[in-house]
Copies of this chain bind each other. A is one copy, B any other.
Protein backbone atom coordinates (compact mmCIF):
# COMPACT_ATOMS: atom_id res chain seq x y z
CA UNK A 1 0.00 0.00 0.00
CA UNK A 2 1.15 3.49 -0.83
CA UNK A 3 0.07 6.65 0.91
CA UNK A 4 0.39 9.98 -0.90
CA UNK A 5 0.54 13.26 0.97
CA UNK A 6 -0.51 16.40 -0.90
CA UNK A 7 -3.33 18.94 -1.04
CA UNK A 8 -6.07 16.55 -2.09
CA UNK A 9 -9.12 18.00 -3.81
CA UNK A 10 -12.11 16.28 -5.40
CA UNK A 11 -15.90 16.49 -5.78
CA UNK A 12 -17.72 13.47 -4.29
CA UNK A 13 -20.82 15.65 -4.75
CA UNK A 14 -21.21 18.44 -7.27
CA UNK A 15 -22.11 21.16 -4.81
CA UNK A 16 -18.62 21.90 -3.47
CA UNK A 17 -14.98 20.91 -3.48
CA UNK A 18 -13.74 18.56 -0.78
CA UNK A 19 -10.30 19.77 0.29
CA UNK A 20 -7.69 17.97 2.40
CA UNK A 21 -4.88 20.43 3.08
CA UNK A 22 -1.72 18.36 3.39
CA UNK A 23 -4.01 15.36 3.44
CA UNK A 24 -3.38 11.68 2.82
CA UNK A 25 -4.76 9.18 0.36
CA UNK A 26 -3.98 5.47 0.63
CA UNK A 27 -3.90 3.29 -2.48
CA UNK A 28 -3.67 -0.51 -2.33
CA UNK A 29 -1.53 -2.71 -4.54
CA UNK A 30 -4.39 -3.14 -7.01
CA UNK A 31 -4.59 0.61 -7.51
CA UNK A 32 -7.76 1.02 -5.45
CA UNK A 33 -8.31 3.95 -3.08
CA UNK A 34 -8.39 2.67 0.52
CA UNK A 35 -9.29 5.96 2.13
CA UNK A 36 -8.46 9.65 2.37
CA UNK A 37 -7.74 11.58 5.57
CA UNK A 38 -6.91 15.01 6.92
CA UNK A 39 -4.61 13.35 9.47
CA UNK A 40 -2.96 10.00 9.00
CA UNK A 41 -4.45 7.39 11.40
CA UNK A 42 -2.00 6.54 14.17
CA UNK A 43 -1.71 2.90 13.13
CA UNK A 44 -0.58 4.01 9.66
CA UNK A 45 1.85 6.53 11.13
CA UNK A 46 3.51 3.60 12.88
CA UNK A 47 3.48 1.39 9.81
CA UNK A 48 4.97 4.05 7.52
CA UNK A 49 7.76 4.50 10.07
CA UNK A 50 8.52 0.77 10.09
CA UNK A 51 11.02 -0.12 7.32
CA UNK A 52 9.83 -3.73 7.27
CA UNK A 53 6.22 -2.68 6.61
CA UNK A 54 4.70 -2.77 3.12
CA UNK A 55 3.23 0.71 3.59
CA UNK A 56 5.12 3.52 1.90
CA UNK A 57 4.49 7.22 2.48
CA UNK A 58 5.19 9.43 -0.55
CA UNK A 59 5.24 13.13 0.15
CA UNK A 60 4.28 15.14 -2.91
CA UNK A 61 4.97 18.46 -1.23
CA UNK A 62 3.05 21.70 -1.80
CA UNK A 63 1.18 20.30 -4.79
CA UNK A 64 -2.46 19.68 -5.66
CA UNK A 65 -3.67 16.11 -6.10
CA UNK A 66 -6.88 15.96 -8.12
CA UNK A 67 -8.81 13.27 -10.00
CA UNK A 68 -7.77 12.72 -13.61
CA UNK A 69 -10.24 13.83 -16.26
CA UNK A 70 -12.82 11.93 -18.32
CA UNK A 71 -13.40 13.04 -21.93
CA UNK A 72 -16.66 11.37 -22.78
CA UNK A 73 -17.02 12.38 -26.43
CA UNK A 74 -14.07 12.61 -28.76
CA UNK A 75 -13.31 11.63 -32.37
CA UNK A 76 -9.79 10.21 -32.44
CA UNK A 77 -9.37 10.30 -36.26
CA UNK A 78 -10.13 14.03 -36.32
CA UNK A 79 -7.04 14.83 -34.26
CA UNK A 80 -5.08 16.09 -37.25
CA UNK A 81 -7.83 18.62 -37.95
CA UNK A 82 -7.70 20.33 -34.55
CA UNK A 83 -8.18 24.05 -35.08
CA UNK A 84 -8.90 23.74 -38.80
CA UNK A 85 -11.68 25.24 -40.85
CA UNK A 86 -13.82 26.40 -37.95
CA UNK A 87 -15.16 29.25 -40.06
CA UNK A 88 -16.96 26.75 -42.27
CA UNK A 89 -20.57 25.68 -42.06
CA UNK A 90 -21.19 22.19 -40.63
CA UNK A 91 -21.69 20.48 -43.99
CA UNK A 92 -18.60 22.04 -45.60
CA UNK A 93 -16.59 21.21 -42.50
CA UNK A 94 -17.85 17.61 -42.65
CA UNK A 95 -17.52 17.01 -46.39
CA UNK A 96 -14.36 18.94 -47.15
CA UNK A 97 -12.38 18.30 -43.97
CA UNK A 98 -13.77 15.63 -41.68
CA UNK A 99 -14.87 12.84 -44.01
CA UNK A 100 -11.74 12.95 -46.22
CA UNK A 101 -9.60 12.84 -43.09
CA UNK A 102 -11.47 9.85 -41.65
CA UNK A 103 -11.12 8.04 -44.98
CA UNK A 104 -7.34 8.16 -44.58
CA UNK A 105 -7.61 5.67 -41.71
CA UNK A 106 -7.96 2.84 -44.20
CA UNK A 107 -4.16 2.99 -44.02
CA UNK A 108 -2.86 1.44 -40.79
CA UNK A 109 0.37 3.42 -41.20
CA UNK A 110 -1.49 6.69 -41.34
CA UNK A 111 -3.68 5.60 -38.45
CA UNK A 112 -0.63 4.89 -36.33
CA UNK A 113 0.88 8.30 -37.22
CA UNK A 114 -2.20 10.15 -35.96
CA UNK A 115 -3.44 7.83 -33.22
CA UNK A 116 -0.07 7.89 -31.47
CA UNK A 117 -0.32 11.66 -31.27
CA UNK A 118 -3.93 11.47 -30.12
CA UNK A 119 -3.18 9.05 -27.28
CA UNK A 120 -0.08 11.04 -26.36
CA UNK A 121 -2.12 14.20 -26.04
CA UNK A 122 -4.78 12.54 -23.88
CA UNK A 123 -1.93 11.55 -21.58
CA UNK A 124 -0.47 15.04 -21.73
CA UNK A 125 -3.79 16.67 -20.82
CA UNK A 126 -4.41 14.32 -17.91
CA UNK A 127 -7.39 12.55 -19.47
CA UNK A 128 -7.21 8.99 -18.17
CA UNK A 129 -10.67 7.89 -19.34
CA UNK A 130 -12.33 8.64 -22.64
CA UNK A 131 -15.17 7.51 -24.83
CA UNK A 132 -13.92 7.53 -28.38
CA UNK A 133 -15.29 7.44 -31.91
CA UNK A 134 -12.81 5.71 -34.22
CA UNK A 135 -13.64 5.18 -37.92
CA UNK A 136 -15.25 2.39 -39.96
CA UNK A 137 -11.84 0.65 -40.26
CA UNK A 138 -11.40 -2.41 -38.01
CA UNK A 139 -7.62 -2.57 -38.40
CA UNK A 140 -7.07 1.07 -37.48
CA UNK A 141 -9.52 0.70 -34.60
CA UNK A 142 -7.66 -2.35 -33.27
CA UNK A 143 -4.49 -0.30 -33.45
CA UNK A 144 -6.08 2.51 -31.46
CA UNK A 145 -7.14 0.00 -28.78
CA UNK A 146 -3.58 -1.34 -28.63
CA UNK A 147 -2.09 2.15 -28.27
CA UNK A 148 -4.50 2.92 -25.42
CA UNK A 149 -3.54 -0.29 -23.67
CA UNK A 150 0.18 0.34 -24.15
CA UNK A 151 -0.16 3.85 -22.75
CA UNK A 152 -2.13 2.56 -19.77
CA UNK A 153 -5.10 4.79 -20.53
CA UNK A 154 -8.70 3.63 -20.16
CA UNK A 155 -11.03 4.00 -23.12
CA UNK A 156 -14.35 2.98 -24.58
CA UNK A 157 -13.55 2.63 -28.28
CA UNK A 158 -16.19 2.47 -30.98
CA UNK A 159 -15.85 1.28 -34.54
CA UNK A 160 -18.14 3.75 -36.33
CA UNK A 161 -21.15 2.45 -38.24
CA UNK A 162 -22.43 4.38 -41.26
CA UNK A 163 -24.02 3.07 -44.42
CA UNK A 164 -25.57 6.15 -46.03
CA UNK A 165 -25.15 9.88 -46.60
CA UNK A 166 -21.37 9.80 -46.65
CA UNK A 167 -18.72 9.22 -49.33
CA UNK A 168 -18.48 5.61 -50.52
CA UNK A 169 -15.05 5.12 -49.01
CA UNK A 170 -16.53 5.85 -45.57
CA UNK A 171 -19.39 3.39 -45.61
CA UNK A 172 -19.59 -0.01 -43.99
CA UNK A 173 -22.54 -2.38 -43.69
CA UNK A 174 -24.71 -4.10 -41.13
CA UNK A 175 -22.86 -7.29 -42.00
CA UNK A 176 -19.49 -5.62 -41.32
CA UNK A 177 -20.74 -4.69 -37.87
CA UNK A 178 -21.95 -8.23 -37.15
CA UNK A 179 -18.58 -9.64 -38.21
CA UNK A 180 -16.65 -7.12 -36.17
CA UNK A 181 -18.55 -7.57 -32.93
CA UNK A 182 -18.49 -11.33 -33.17
CA UNK A 183 -14.78 -11.02 -32.38
CA UNK A 184 -14.84 -7.66 -30.57
CA UNK A 185 -17.59 -7.80 -27.98
CA UNK A 186 -15.24 -8.15 -25.01
CA UNK A 187 -12.63 -5.87 -23.51
CA UNK A 188 -9.48 -5.91 -25.65
CA UNK A 189 -7.31 -5.30 -22.61
CA UNK A 190 -7.58 -4.49 -18.92
CA UNK A 191 -8.51 -0.88 -19.72
CA UNK A 192 -10.02 -0.82 -23.22
CA UNK A 193 -13.65 -1.70 -23.90
CA UNK A 194 -15.93 -1.80 -26.95
CA UNK A 195 -18.88 0.53 -27.37
CA UNK A 196 -21.48 0.41 -30.16
CA UNK A 197 -21.14 3.59 -32.20
CA UNK A 198 -23.74 4.35 -34.85
CA UNK A 199 -22.53 7.72 -36.12
CA UNK A 200 -26.04 9.22 -36.04
CA UNK A 201 -29.42 8.48 -37.55
CA UNK A 202 -28.74 10.24 -40.89
CA UNK A 203 -25.67 8.01 -41.40
CA UNK A 204 -27.37 4.72 -40.53
CA UNK A 205 -30.08 3.05 -42.55
CA UNK A 206 -32.98 1.28 -40.83
CA UNK A 207 -31.24 -2.03 -41.60
CA UNK A 208 -28.06 -0.91 -39.86
CA UNK A 209 -30.03 0.47 -36.92
CA UNK A 210 -31.89 -2.85 -36.55
CA UNK A 211 -28.52 -4.59 -36.51
CA UNK A 212 -27.39 -2.26 -33.73
CA UNK A 213 -30.51 -3.22 -31.81
CA UNK A 214 -29.58 -6.91 -32.23
CA UNK A 215 -25.99 -6.26 -31.14
CA UNK A 216 -27.26 -4.51 -28.01
CA UNK A 217 -29.51 -7.47 -27.29
CA UNK A 218 -26.87 -10.13 -28.06
CA UNK A 219 -23.83 -8.69 -26.36
CA UNK A 220 -25.16 -6.14 -23.87
CA UNK A 221 -22.71 -3.57 -25.18
CA UNK A 222 -23.07 0.13 -24.32
CA UNK A 223 -23.97 2.67 -27.02
CA UNK A 224 -22.72 6.11 -27.97
CA UNK A 225 -24.03 8.39 -30.67
CA UNK A 226 -25.10 11.97 -31.49
CA UNK A 227 -28.48 13.52 -30.73
CA UNK A 228 -30.20 16.84 -31.50
CA UNK A 229 -27.03 18.81 -32.18
CA UNK A 230 -28.61 21.44 -34.40
CA UNK A 231 -31.95 22.37 -35.92
CA UNK A 232 -31.35 21.32 -39.51
CA UNK A 233 -30.13 17.90 -38.37
CA UNK A 234 -33.33 17.48 -36.34
CA UNK A 235 -35.44 18.39 -39.37
CA UNK A 236 -33.52 15.87 -41.44
CA UNK A 237 -34.12 13.09 -38.92
CA UNK A 238 -37.82 13.98 -38.87
CA UNK A 239 -37.90 13.31 -42.63
CA UNK A 240 -35.85 10.12 -42.38
CA UNK A 241 -37.79 8.68 -39.46
CA UNK A 242 -41.33 10.07 -39.76
CA UNK A 243 -42.77 7.51 -37.35
CA UNK A 244 -40.60 8.66 -34.48
CA UNK A 245 -42.08 11.25 -32.16
CA UNK A 246 -38.67 12.84 -31.73
CA UNK A 247 -35.04 12.29 -32.69
CA UNK A 248 -34.33 10.20 -29.57
CA UNK A 249 -37.34 8.07 -30.37
CA UNK A 250 -35.65 6.94 -33.59
CA UNK A 251 -32.89 5.36 -31.51
CA UNK A 252 -35.41 3.99 -29.02
CA UNK A 253 -37.50 2.30 -31.69
CA UNK A 254 -34.44 0.37 -32.88
CA UNK A 255 -33.63 -0.75 -29.34
CA UNK A 256 -30.53 1.34 -28.79
CA UNK A 257 -31.68 3.87 -26.21
CA UNK A 258 -31.19 2.79 -22.63
CA UNK A 259 -31.24 -0.99 -22.94
CA UNK A 260 -27.54 -0.70 -22.04
CA UNK A 261 -25.61 2.36 -20.78
CA UNK A 262 -26.27 4.92 -23.50
CA UNK A 263 -24.31 8.12 -24.10
CA UNK A 264 -25.73 10.78 -26.40
CA UNK A 265 -23.60 13.73 -27.42
CA UNK A 266 -24.91 17.32 -27.64
CA UNK A 267 -28.70 17.28 -27.01
CA UNK A 268 -28.73 21.05 -27.59
CA UNK A 269 -32.41 20.97 -28.48
CA UNK A 270 -33.68 18.07 -26.35
CA UNK A 271 -36.84 19.28 -24.64
CA UNK A 272 -40.42 18.20 -24.02
CA UNK A 273 -41.00 14.59 -25.08
CA UNK A 274 -37.34 14.01 -25.90
CA UNK A 275 -36.27 15.22 -22.49
CA UNK A 276 -38.69 12.80 -20.83
CA UNK A 277 -37.43 10.00 -23.07
CA UNK A 278 -33.81 10.64 -22.08
CA UNK A 279 -34.78 10.62 -18.43
CA UNK A 280 -37.03 7.55 -18.60
CA UNK A 281 -34.41 5.58 -20.55
CA UNK A 282 -31.52 6.56 -18.25
CA UNK A 283 -29.55 8.11 -21.08
CA UNK A 284 -26.37 10.02 -20.20
CA UNK A 285 -25.83 13.31 -22.06
CA UNK A 286 -22.29 14.14 -23.25
CA UNK A 287 -22.22 17.94 -23.19
CA UNK A 288 -19.65 19.42 -25.60
CA UNK A 289 -19.82 23.18 -25.19
CA UNK A 290 -16.65 24.01 -27.15
CA UNK A 291 -17.98 22.16 -30.16
CA UNK A 292 -21.48 23.58 -29.80
CA UNK A 293 -19.96 27.08 -29.91
CA UNK A 294 -17.59 26.38 -32.81
CA UNK A 295 -20.29 24.85 -34.97
CA UNK A 296 -22.87 27.48 -33.99
CA UNK A 297 -25.10 24.69 -32.70
CA UNK A 298 -26.39 26.50 -29.62
CA UNK A 299 -26.38 25.93 -25.88
CA UNK A 300 -27.57 22.65 -24.39
CA UNK A 301 -30.00 23.04 -21.44
CA UNK A 302 -27.66 21.35 -18.97
CA UNK A 303 -29.31 22.72 -15.83
CA UNK A 304 -32.64 21.35 -17.00
CA UNK A 305 -31.07 17.92 -17.57
CA UNK A 306 -29.57 17.95 -14.08
CA UNK A 307 -32.84 19.06 -12.53
CA UNK A 308 -34.58 16.17 -14.29
CA UNK A 309 -32.02 13.72 -12.95
CA UNK A 310 -30.47 13.09 -16.38
CA UNK A 311 -26.75 12.34 -15.93
CA UNK A 312 -24.49 14.79 -17.77
CA UNK A 313 -20.82 14.27 -18.61
CA UNK A 314 -18.42 16.46 -20.60
CA UNK A 315 -16.62 15.91 -23.88
CA UNK A 316 -14.11 17.80 -26.00
CA UNK A 317 -15.73 16.61 -29.25
CA UNK A 318 -12.41 17.01 -31.02
CA UNK A 319 -12.13 18.28 -33.73
CA UNK A 320 -15.40 20.23 -33.77
CA UNK A 321 -14.14 21.18 -30.34
CA UNK A 322 -10.62 22.53 -30.74
CA UNK A 323 -9.17 21.73 -27.33
CA UNK A 324 -8.04 18.37 -26.00
CA UNK A 325 -7.90 19.85 -22.50
CA UNK A 326 -10.81 19.09 -20.19
CA UNK A 327 -9.87 22.20 -18.21
CA UNK A 328 -11.03 24.22 -21.18
CA UNK A 329 -14.22 22.21 -21.50
CA UNK A 330 -14.98 22.88 -17.83
CA UNK A 331 -14.57 26.61 -18.48
CA UNK A 332 -16.75 26.53 -21.59
CA UNK A 333 -19.45 24.53 -19.82
CA UNK A 334 -19.68 27.25 -17.19
CA UNK A 335 -19.46 30.11 -19.64
CA UNK A 336 -22.16 28.93 -22.04
CA UNK A 337 -24.29 28.18 -19.00
CA UNK A 338 -23.80 31.81 -17.94
CA UNK A 339 -24.67 33.09 -21.41
CA UNK A 340 -27.82 30.97 -21.26
CA UNK A 341 -28.51 32.49 -17.84
CA UNK A 342 -28.03 36.02 -19.19
CA UNK A 343 -30.35 35.30 -22.11
CA UNK A 344 -33.11 33.85 -19.92
CA UNK A 345 -32.60 36.62 -17.35
CA UNK A 346 -31.55 34.23 -14.65
CA UNK A 347 -34.43 31.76 -14.63
CA UNK A 348 -32.18 28.81 -13.77
CA UNK A 349 -28.83 29.01 -11.97
CA UNK A 350 -25.72 28.58 -14.07
CA UNK A 351 -23.21 25.80 -13.48
CA UNK A 352 -20.75 26.36 -10.67
CA UNK A 353 -17.08 25.47 -10.90
CA UNK A 354 -17.43 22.49 -8.59
CA UNK A 355 -20.39 21.22 -10.62
CA UNK A 356 -18.51 21.46 -13.90
CA UNK A 357 -15.46 19.81 -12.32
CA UNK A 358 -17.71 17.01 -11.06
CA UNK A 359 -19.08 16.50 -14.57
CA UNK A 360 -15.53 16.23 -15.94
CA UNK A 361 -14.38 13.77 -13.27
CA UNK A 362 -16.81 11.73 -11.19
CA UNK A 363 -19.82 11.93 -13.54
CA UNK A 364 -17.71 10.90 -16.53
CA UNK A 365 -16.27 8.09 -14.44
CA UNK A 366 -19.73 6.87 -13.50
CA UNK A 367 -20.76 6.41 -17.12
CA UNK A 368 -17.41 4.87 -18.01
CA UNK A 369 -17.57 2.29 -15.25
CA UNK A 370 -21.17 1.31 -16.05
CA UNK A 371 -20.26 0.87 -19.71
CA UNK A 372 -17.14 -1.11 -18.79
CA UNK A 373 -19.21 -3.30 -16.43
CA UNK A 374 -16.86 -2.37 -13.60
CA UNK A 375 -17.86 -2.34 -9.97
CA UNK A 376 -15.25 0.28 -9.22
CA UNK A 377 -15.75 3.99 -9.65
CA UNK A 378 -13.30 6.67 -10.71
CA UNK A 379 -13.14 10.46 -10.79
CA UNK A 380 -13.05 10.99 -7.02
CA UNK A 381 -10.97 9.69 -4.14
CA UNK A 382 -13.74 7.77 -2.43
CA UNK A 383 -12.82 4.39 -1.00
CA UNK A 384 -13.17 1.60 -3.56
CA UNK A 385 -12.52 3.80 -6.60
CA UNK A 386 -9.55 3.24 -8.85
CA UNK A 387 -6.80 5.76 -8.19
CA UNK A 388 -6.72 7.94 -11.34
CA UNK A 389 -5.11 11.19 -10.37
CA UNK A 390 -3.02 14.17 -11.39
CA UNK A 391 -0.30 15.87 -9.37
CA UNK A 392 -0.41 19.59 -10.16
CA UNK A 393 2.55 21.87 -9.58
CA UNK A 394 1.03 25.34 -9.61
CA UNK A 395 4.00 27.11 -8.05
CA UNK A 396 4.28 29.70 -10.84
CA UNK A 397 0.60 30.56 -10.31
CA UNK A 398 0.92 30.65 -6.54
CA UNK A 399 3.12 33.70 -6.01
CA UNK A 400 0.92 35.32 -3.37
CA UNK A 401 -1.14 34.10 -0.41
CA UNK A 402 -3.78 32.07 -2.21
CA UNK A 403 -6.08 29.64 -0.43
CA UNK A 404 -6.18 26.07 -1.68
CA UNK A 405 -9.59 26.57 -3.24
CA UNK A 406 -8.28 29.64 -5.05
CA UNK A 407 -5.22 27.73 -6.19
CA UNK A 408 -7.50 25.10 -7.67
CA UNK A 409 -9.64 27.77 -9.34
CA UNK A 410 -6.56 29.35 -10.87
CA UNK A 411 -5.26 26.02 -12.09
CA UNK A 412 -8.59 25.22 -13.73
CA UNK A 413 -9.00 28.64 -15.33
CA UNK A 414 -5.45 29.59 -16.27
CA UNK A 415 -3.32 26.47 -15.88
CA UNK A 416 -2.49 23.98 -18.60
CA UNK A 417 -0.71 20.71 -19.35
CA UNK A 418 2.64 22.20 -18.23
CA UNK A 419 1.40 22.07 -14.65
CA UNK A 420 0.75 18.31 -14.52
CA UNK A 421 3.77 16.64 -12.94
CA UNK A 422 2.53 13.07 -12.40
CA UNK A 423 -0.35 11.13 -13.94
CA UNK A 424 -1.71 8.08 -12.12
CA UNK A 425 -3.95 5.51 -13.79
CA UNK A 426 -5.32 2.62 -11.74
CA UNK A 427 -2.62 3.33 -9.17
CA UNK A 428 0.29 3.34 -11.60
CA UNK A 429 2.37 6.34 -12.45
CA UNK A 430 2.12 6.56 -16.24
CA UNK A 431 5.23 7.36 -18.26
CA UNK A 432 4.96 9.54 -21.36
CA UNK A 433 3.75 7.40 -24.29
CA UNK A 434 6.14 7.02 -27.20
CA UNK A 435 5.25 9.34 -30.06
A contacts, CB < 8 Å to B? 80, 82-87, 113, 117, 230-231, 293-299, 322-323, 331, 334-336, 338-339, 341-343, 345, 350, 352-353, 397, 399-400, 406, 409-414, 416
Contacts of A406 in B (CB 8 A): 84-85
Q: A85, B409: Cβ atoms under 8 Å?
A: yes
Q: How far is the CA of A343 from the CA of B344 in the complex (A)?
A: 12
**Which residue from chain B places its CB closest to the CB of A353 in the assembled complex?**
B87
- Within 8 Å by CB of A410, from B82, B334, B342, B416, lies B82
Contacts of A414 in B (CB 8 A): 82-83, 322-323
- Within 8 Å by CB of A297, from B323, B342, B399, B410, lies B342
Q: B409, A296: Cβ atoms under 8 Å?
A: no
Q: A86-B353, A87-B352 are in contact. List 6 more A-B contacts (CB 8 A).
A: A83-B409, A83-B410, A84-B409, A86-B334, A293-B336, A294-B335
Q: A82, B413: Cβ atoms under 8 Å?
A: yes
Q: A86, B413: Cβ atoms under 8 Å?
A: yes
- Within 8 Å by CB of A342, from B83, B298, B412, lies B298
Contacts of A335 in B (CB 8 A): 293-294
Q: A338, B83: Cβ atoms under 8 Å?
A: no
The 12 sampled A-B contact pairs (Cβ below 8 Å) are A82-B413, A83-B411, A83-B412, A85-B406, A86-B353, A231-B345, A293-B336, A293-B339, A296-B339, A296-B341, A298-B339, A336-B339
Q: How far is the CA of A87 from the CA of B293 in the complex (A)?
A: 21
Q: How far is the CA of A406 from the CA of B97 in the complex (A)?
A: 12
**Which residue from chain B places its CB closest to the CB of A435 in the assembled complex?**
B399
User: Across chains A and B, which 9 residue pairs bring their CB atoms closest together, nearest first?
Assistant: A83-B413, A293-B335, A296-B338, A83-B410, A298-B342, A322-B413, A83-B414, A296-B342, A87-B352
